[in-house]
Amino acid sequence: MGTPGLSRIRPPLSPGDVLSPTGREVTPPLGLPPGSVRALLVVILSLTFWYLVYRGLLVPDYLAQTVFLAVAFYFGARTSDEKAPSEKKTRAPLGLPRGFVRGFVSLGFLGLYAYLWFARPADIPPVLAAIFELLIGYVAGVVLSAVVRSSSRRTSSGALAAFGHARALLCLVGVVFLSFAAVTDQSGLVPPLYITALQFLVSFYFGSRSVR
């Protein structure tokens, strides 16, 4: 007869296990480290897109839309995952160094855009330009926020809070204005430069929020 209560003690989590919202241990899909399937999806889609654009081949609309959504959602999902306490003890996607996949994807898109800009500017597809703007804003947010955080020892908490308030307020005001223009059918009054700046600002905000 076993000692009462011992059967209720859970074994320690293995590196690949995570806890579901109910507190139960859940093995990640295919037994890979958490986030690996998402990483594989975004890498496969990105490589396919890079190949087609580099060779000057037609990129189907469905692929272009899927690539954009995959990149946007992957970067946002990885930002949220790294904030979750349960993720701190698990391995990074595919067992690679943390941030490797995002760095690889970012460099691939930025490098392809730079190549086309100098060699074949007329061949830059709209979706690549959109992803370029998104990644530039995201990377800028990561870098600037990392600099601010690294100097936090010499910066007052009030200054850090002001930085956070300013970036949040700018994004909210910009998005509210754009939404108001759309609802009131005044989209024609919104200059393209403003839309580009707002896209940069929003992606910058998500990038800056990824640094803790």
For 194-209, the pLDDT digits (tens) are 666 766 666 666 655 5
* pLDDT 10s digits, 158-190: 666 776 777 778 778 877 877 777 788 777 777
Check: CB of residue 47 under 8 Å from CB of residue 29: no
In the numeric block, the tokens 């490589």 are attached to 47
pLDDT bracket for residue 152 (50, 70, 90): low
Distances (CA, A) of 58 to 12, 117, 121: 51, 18, 16
In the numeric block, the tokens 């959109």 are attached to 130
Tokens describing residue 132? 């370029």
Domain ranges of the chain: 30-98, 125-212
Nearest to 108 by CA among 44, 194, 14, 162: 44
Query: Which residues 6+ apart lie within 8 Å of 65 measured at CB?
Result: 127
pLDDT bracket for residue 137 (50, 70, 90): confident
pLDDT bracket for residue 111 (50, 70, 90): very high
